[in-house]
Amino acid sequence: MTTSERTPPRIVVHPDKERMARATAASLITTVVDAQATRGHASVVLTGGRNGNALLAALAEAPGRDTVDWSRVDLWWGDERFLPDGDPDRNHTQARAFLDAVPLDPARVHAMPASDGPHGDDVTAAAEAYAAELATAAEAEGSGGGENTEGTSVPRVPSFDVLLLGLGPDTHVASLFPEHPAVAETGRSVVGVREAPKPPPTRISLTLPALRAAREVWLLAAGEDKAEAADSALKGTDPLRTPASGARGRERTLWILDEAAAALLPASARD
């Protein structure tokens, strides 16, 4: 199934970013509980940035938080700044308050490698190690991984239940930037990103084929600075120019916006 053949995105607009974060946290809890009831476990890919972090803060405080068996949740990341462990700019570091708030199994929290880890400053080796970890998890759960991509041959990845993405003002998602070599990658599930246009310049990112292996992809955008990006990405057909337009889930693609980010969208496009 190609990206263009998938179900069109559903667009949900909330009055403001605070209510957006709370409602999304509640929806995520429901989706995780349903996945655990169906398969016994759940797999979620986290995102950083202001909207991703706001969601995690709301999730940590959500009334329904304890309905999830957190010991049976695998957490992955869509991208990471290739910085030393504990650096405040790392997505993993920024997620620490949430990670400490729920009873997760540490073995199921899959942080991307840091620049002071076993691979040193070799971002390519670090990306390959994360790809291998994804492939091992996919094999253990018996997921198809590669056959869920756009017909390309890539290492297997788990069938993520929900993959969260923040939307950049330039339409980038994860660390896949417009017209950057990483966004054109089709043969790998994870890449080292060098010379990113947004600091820090060195990063690790899932590729578009890996993002598309998820059952559901949820894109988050709040604030007037995201309005043009949301409009462009939802109209876009070329992921090389608008990477967010290429982020589609196998079963559902959900755009979650506040009123400011949805300002340029026609009323007919909203859910």
Query: Per-residue pLDDT for 20 more than 60?
Result: yes
Domain 3-266, CATH 3.40.50.1360 — does that match?
yes
* Single-letter residue type at 58: A
The domain limits of the chain are 3-266
**Confidence (pLDDT) at 27:** 98
- Residue 120, number of CB atoms within 10 A of its CB: 11
Listed residue (18, 15, 24, 1) closest to 254, CA to CA: 24
Question: If pLDDT is split at 50, 70 and 90, which confidence band does 176 have?
Answer: very high
The model's pLDDT over 219-270, given as tens digits with 9 standing for 90+, comes to 999 999 999 999 999 999 999 999 999 999 999 999 999 999 999 998 877 7
Percent of the chain exceeding pLDDT 90 equals 88
**Confidence (pLDDT) at 269:** 78
What are 191's two structure tokens? 């890449």
What are 241's two structure tokens? 């120019």
What are 118's two structure tokens? 């076993």
* 152-156 long-range contacts, CB within 8 A, separation 24+: 152/186, 152/187, 152/209, 153/187, 154/186, 154/187, 154/188, 154/189, 154/207, 154/209, 154/210, 155/131, 155/188, 155/189, 156/189
Query: Per-residue pLDDT for 199 more than 80?
Result: yes
What are 36's two structure tokens? 């655990």
* Single-letter residue type at 213: A
**Confidence (pLDDT) at 148:** 40
pTM metric for this prediction: 0.94
What are 172's two structure tokens? 């980038």
Alpha carbon distance 168, 166 (integer Å): 6
Alpha carbon distance 218, 214 (integer Å): 10
Which residues are CB-neighbours of 129 under 8 A, at least 6 positions away? 113, 118, 119
